[in-house]
Amino acid sequence: MSKNKTVGIDLGTTNSAVAYHDERSLHLVESTSGHVLMPSVVAVDKGGKFTVGHHALRKLKRDFDPEFVFSNIKKQIGMPAQEGEDYTTAYGPQIVAVNGERHFIGPNKQTYSPTELSAEILKSLKASADRKLKKPSSGVVITVPAAFDNNRILDTKEAGLMAGFKRVIIKTEPEMAALAFGLHKTPFTRFGVFDLGGGTFDIAHGTAAKGDINIEPPIGEELGGTDFDKAVWRYLAAAYQQDEGKDLDSQPIAKLKLMPTIEEAKRELTDLDNAFVRAQGIYIDYEGGGTRDLQYTITREKFDELTKHLVDKTIELTKRLLERDDKTPRDFDEILLVGGMTRVPAVRKAIEDFFGKARIRDDVNPDYAVVMGAAIAAAQEDDILPRTFNFSQSVAFSFGLEDEHGNFAVALPVGAAPGEIAELVVTTAQDGQASIPIGILQGDAGSKAKDCVRLTRYEHRVQPGPAEKPRISVEFMVDNSGQLTVTGRDQQTNQSFPIREP
């Protein structure tokens, strides 16, 4: 029986995976469907029963009911709901605002939070790992994009607890990629991480020297393989409209049948010059009767043309990061390729053209790099592997308070070191005021409070007195996993109290 208690999980937008390291070797765990990569898809039936992964996709294809099959869940977790925003996912479930958060609508108008659905994915991965380990796993290292804000980190952690893990450790994807590529063993290197997955893009850089890995604040965006798929979908839908006079967008089943075929064609175009996109019965002809099929050939040249703006966007973000930190491509020794989309020839060429081919490292499978790093970190949590490294990732966001004028007062700026403590003082504005509102925000320096992410609102009662006499010290600290702790201290009573905890 394995000594492992903690496993590593890459909770992805399109696919997820679980792995562990048993001191001798690293094990990628297959799901019950026989695949290491499990689609991050959850289906729910009218009785409220969940089906996850490949089984959910098979149910989707069998029942042709896209309304209650949820995908792209990671894109919604921890995100606020705003009126008028398009929350459409690949297979078409409706998303509504519930208490300011995005929730998926299921059968019988039952709503499901992204945290709850993510927990179902994590439960399935945990069950696969437990079968392989022949015992229950109690801890997990879950990876998140470097650009995830504090709310999204906390919701991901909550999903891990809901899945049955007793201990949940959050690590960023660039950190875990650095482990998978063995940077904790190198004497010294200046590295970049180019991570283009199914739904998110992160570009980060740092240094590694004899086990000390330092990563600067990254830049990221909701951009990934699903955006490439949508670009091809729009092209095919327009071509079908022109050739057949039928609007594929009018029938959800059309996208249901076509998107998996587009994904397969995208993979084929990594090695081939042409790929066929076929779908039978893609359009139901209610007027003429029967169904209509679709068949087109996509060339790599056409695919590159359709998705060039997306590739260009990744390089624009990369340039922005380097300009911010006063770097050039020559300042890097190696660029780690992470995420399955880095296999796309146009993406690979853009990276090589920008950084130089000699700096590119692709010796670790880009689909598994993050989960492999998470498995190494998990084994170190269990003392199965020695702790031969230390991570230091600068704070990626500014944290602070809402002041009395509705502005964002920064306490911890972007680039602050993990463990650094910053303090702001709040007080009463009027005589006799019996409480002090404390609004904890995350945002950009110089912003209005309304334009920031509100993390916590806390009302602290004080002894009424003259204005500005009651004073509260508010202390901010971010740990190595990017999680924020905020503590208050009443200067009159010297009593401390928690405002926000990881």
Cβ(348)–Cβ(304) under 8 Å? no
Indicate if 398-500 has the same CATH topology as 6-77+113-181+368-393.
Answer: no
Cα dihedral: 366, 371, 376, 377 (round 10): 120
* CA 149 – CA 397 distance, rounded (Å): 8
CA distances for 28 relative to 41, 138, 371, 376, angstroms: 20, 18, 8, 12
Q: What H or E segment, with its residue span, contains residue 162? A: helix 150-162
Instruction: Quickly name the fold that domain 398-500 has.
Output: Substrate Binding Domain Of DNAk; Chain A, domain 1 (2.60.34)
Separation in Å, CA 68 to CA 43, 63, 89, 95, 279:
6, 10, 11, 11, 22
Give the other-Cβ count within 10 Å of 312's Cβ.
Answer: 12
At 445, is the pLDDT very low, low, confident or very high (cuts 50, 70, 90)? confident
Is there a contact between 445 and 113 (Cβ–Cβ < 8 Å)?
Answer: no
The structure's pTM equals: 0.88
Say if residues 479 and 419 touch (Cβ distance below 8 Å): yes
pLDDT digits (tens, 9 = 90+) for 203-240: 999 999 988 899 998 998 889 999 999 999 999 999 99
Q: Would you give the DSSP letter of residue 407?
A: B
Q: Which two tokens stand for residue 47?
A: 């009785």
> Is the pLDDT at 2 greater than 70, yes or no?
no
- Mean pLDDT of the 157-184 span: 95
Residue type, 267: R
- Say yes or no to pLDDT of 384 above 80: yes
Helices and strands (DSSP H and E) totals, the chain: 10, 29
Contact (Cβ atoms closer than 8 angstroms) between residue 336 and residue 359: no
Mean pLDDT of the chain: 90
Q: What confidence score (pLDDT) does residue 203 get?
A: 96
The region of weakest confidence among 222-231, 295-304, 447-456 is: 447-456
Q: What integer pLDDT is reported at residue 270 of this predicted model?
A: 94
* Beta carbons of 400 and 423 less than 8 angstroms apart: no
Provide the residue ranges of all domains of the chain, joining segments of one domain with +: 6-77+113-181+368-393, 398-500
Distance CA 113, CA 102 (A): 7
Q: Which residue has the tokens 């009027």?
A: 430
Q: Give, rounded to a whole angstrom, the gap between the first and last alpha carbons of the chain.
A: 33
Backbone angles phi, psi at 36, to 5 degrees: -75, -45
CATH class, domain 6-77+113-181+368-393, is alpha beta
Name the strands in the sheet holding 69-70, side by side, starting at the edge strand that comes first in the sequence.
Answer: 50-52, 42-44, 69-70
Query: What was the pLDDT predicted at 61?
Result: 63
Q: What are the distances in angstroms from CA 271 to CA 283, 369, 373?
A: 30, 21, 27
Question: Are the C-beta atoms of 53 and 41 separated by less than 8 Å?
Answer: yes
| Contact between residue 67 and residue 410 where contact means Cβ atoms under 8 Å apart | no
Alpha helices in 185-287 (DSSP H): 225-244, 252-268
* Mean per-residue pLDDT, 243-264: 85
